[in-house]
């Protein structure tokens, strides 16, 4: 793992952002509804084919032996939308099919990740990949959807950025080891109902980063 190398690549591609404590500058409202002073935008890397390929090649090497004896009965899956390009490139490099789970809102108003268009077979091996892991909620729902369909999710999850501080996903039926290109914990705040967000306190507005990337990076 070379965190500094890949953090530099993300920064060069405008894929890493950090708040400068200017109250006029918005801060990050994450998918989990948590707030943060930093954000890795995996889309800025995934859209660069050469960089994407290099990143996926390194992930495959890092995942290593967990892929042995799987290629004849394996697929790669990500979650829509962030991990779709990664799953596609990983499938291409491994010469196996690939797919992705998609979000639906259940009867209780909770987002779930489901299989809609890509079939999996009972006991088929699945490598799960992700662009950025913060709470890992979406990834865990993807793993559940695959396992509920009878597939076997291998014991390592490949990810470009692990910003959660976790090393292992223990919430699965069987633990999954996180294999990241970048492993750096960034602070988050639970809003509302948790500790006060210091950036909200100084007057900064929380906005979804990808949809407001220009606002987060503007001059104030």
pLDDT tens, position by position, 132-145: 999 999 999 999 99
Question: pTM of the prediction?
Answer: 0.92
Beta bridge partners of 16: 40
List the Cα angle 34/76/166 in 5-degree steps: 35
pLDDT digits (tens, 9 = 90+) for 32-43: 889 999 999 999
Kindly list the domain boundaries of the chain, sorted by start residue: 3-217
Residues 104-111: what's their mean pLDDT?
92
CA dihedral for 5, 6, 12, 16, sign (positive or negative): negative
For the stretch 166-214, pLDDT in tens is: 999 999 889 999 999 999 999 999 887 556 899 999 999 999 999 999 9
Residue with tokens 């967990």: 66
Q: Tokens 């290593």 sit at which residue? A: 64
Residue 45, SS3 per DSSP:
helix
CATH 3.40.50.2020 fits 3-217, yes or no: yes
Q: Is 123 left (phi over 0), alpha (psi -120 to 50) or beta?
A: left
Say how far apart CA 5 and CA 62 lie, in whole Å: 15
As given in the structure block, the two tokens for residue 151 are 């597939």
């Amino acid at each position: 793992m070379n965190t500094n190398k890949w953090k530099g690549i993300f920064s060069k591609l405008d894929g890493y952002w950090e708040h400068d404590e200017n109250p006029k500058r918005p801060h990050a409202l994450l998918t989990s509804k948590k707030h943060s002073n930093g954000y890795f935008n995996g889309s800025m890397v995934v859209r660069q084919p050469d960089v994407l390929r290099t990143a996926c090649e390194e992930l495959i090497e890092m995942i290593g032996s967990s892929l042995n004896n799987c290629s004849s009965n394996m697929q790669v899956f990500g979650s829509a939308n962030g991990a779709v390009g990664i799953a596609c490139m990983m499938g291409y490099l491994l010469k196996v099919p690939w797919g992705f789970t998609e979000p639906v809102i259940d009867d209780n108003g909770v987002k779930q990740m489901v299989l809609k268009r890509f079939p999996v077979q009972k006991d088929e091996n699945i490598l799960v990949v992700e662009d950025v892991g913060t709470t890992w909620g979406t990834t865990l729902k993807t793993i559940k959807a695959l396992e509920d369909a009878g597939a076997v999710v291998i014991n390592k999850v490949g990810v470009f950025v692990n910003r959660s501080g976790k090393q292992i996903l223990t919430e699965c039926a069987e633990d999954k080891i996180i294999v990241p290109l970048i492993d750096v914990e960034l602070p988050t705040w639970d809003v509302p109902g948790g500790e006060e967000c210091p950036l909200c306190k100084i007057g900064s507005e929380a906005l979804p980063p990808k949809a407001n990337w220009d606002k987060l990076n503007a001059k104030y």
